[in-house]
Structure 1
Amino acid sequence: MAKDVLLLEYSGCDTCRKARKWLDTQGVTYTVRPIVESPPTATELQTWIARSGLPVRKWLNTSGQSYRALGKASVDAASEAQLREWLAQDGKLVKRPVLITSDRVLVGFKPEAYGELFSARG
C-alpha cells in the first residue's frame, strides 16, 4: 500500500494502539509521528482541519488533562484561531490518533472509516 500515510499518535493511548494494530493487520505502510513530542504545526493544522471536514472543536481531546486544565468555559469562549494555536502548542490537546494521507485526514479511530479510506485507495 501507499507510503504517504502519516499517523500522529501518543504511545500511551489505547485508541492509538488499536489504530496501529488495524493498519498493521491490513498491511498499510505508515510513518508514526509522536504527537506530544512533535505536535502539529499551525500551518499543518490549518491544512489538515480543512481536509478533515471537521470543525476545529472536533479536534479537541475533551477527555484529557490538557483540556481539563484549560477548562470548558475557556474552550467554549475561544475563537477558532485560539483553538488552533492551543492545539499546535500541546499535542495532548489533540484528539488522536490523526491519520493523514494525500487526500484525507481522519481524527480518532473508527475501523469502518479506516476501512473505507484504504479500500478506496486500493
Structure 2
Amino acid sequence: MLEFIEYPKCSTCKKAKQELNQLGVDYKAVHIVEETPSEDVILNWLETSSFEVKQFFNTSGIKYRELGLKDKVGSLTKQEAAKLLASDGMLLKRPILVENGAVKQIGYRKTYEDLGLR
C-alpha cells in the first residue's frame, strides 16, 4: 500500500494529493504531525533510500530555522538526523511517498506520473 505522508494544510501537499486522485492512485493519507514517523522508521528510510539526509528536512520551515539547522544538518549522523526528525513532524520535508516501507519520493517538484504510479 502506498502511504502519502502529508501536512493537510500545506498547499504543496494539496497539489500532490490532487494529482494522486486524478491518476486514480490508491493510497493511505498520513498526517505528518499527528502520526509522525518513529525514529526507527526514519532511520530505515535514511539507510535504505537513495536520498541524502538533508533532503528529508523541511529546509524552508520555521522549526528548521529556529533550531539553526542550516549549518548543522551536514554534520549529523543518520542516527542523529532520525532522532531529530522524529521529534517534530514539521521538520520533515513533505509530502513523502512511501511504498512497502521504502521512500519513493520526498517533496513534490515533478509530477507523480513520472514515477509510474497508477
> Fold-level match, TM-score > 0.5?
yes
Q: Give the unaligned 5+ runs of structure 1.
A: none
Aligned partners of 2:72, 2:52: CA distance in 1, in Å? 17
- Quote the Cα distance in structure 1 between the aligned partners of 2:46 and 2:75: 19
Q: 1:108 maps to what in 2?
A: 107
Query: Does residue 1:34 correspond to 2:34, yes or no?
Result: no
Q: Which moved more, 1:53-62 or 1:97-106?
A: 97-106
Following the alignment from structure 1 to structure 2, what is the Cα–Cα distance between the partners of residues 61 and 11?
A: 15
Assess if the C-alpha contact under 8 Å between 1:51 and 1:105 holds in 2. Answer: no
What are the Cα deviations for residues 10-60 of structure 1, in whole angstroms up to 9, with x where unaligned? Answer: 011111001100000010111011001111111211222344311111111
Q: CA deviation at 1:117?
A: 2.2
Cα separation, 2, equivalents of 1:38 and 1:49: 18
User: How many aligned positions are there?
Assistant: 116
Counterpart of 2:79 in structure 1 is: 81
Structure 1 counterpart SS, 2:116: helix
Q: Structure 1 residues 87 and 77 mapped into 2: Cα distance closer, same or farther (>3 Å)?
A: same
Structure with bigger strand share is: 2
Q: Report the residue type matching 1:7 in the other structure.
A: F
Shift of 1:92: 0.4
- Structure 2: unaligned runs, 5 residues or longer: none
Distance 1:49 1:13 in 2: 23
Please say if residues 96 and 103 of structure 2, whose CA atoms lie closer than 8 Å, have aligned partners that are also in contact: no
The Cα shift of 1:80 comes to 2.9
Write the distance in 2 (CA, Å) between the matches of 1:70 and 1:43.
Answer: 22
Match of 1:118 in 2: 116
- TM-score, normalized by length of structure 2? 0.86
CA–CA separation in structure 2 for the residues paired with 1:77 and 1:50: 16
Counterpart for residue 52 of structure 1: 49
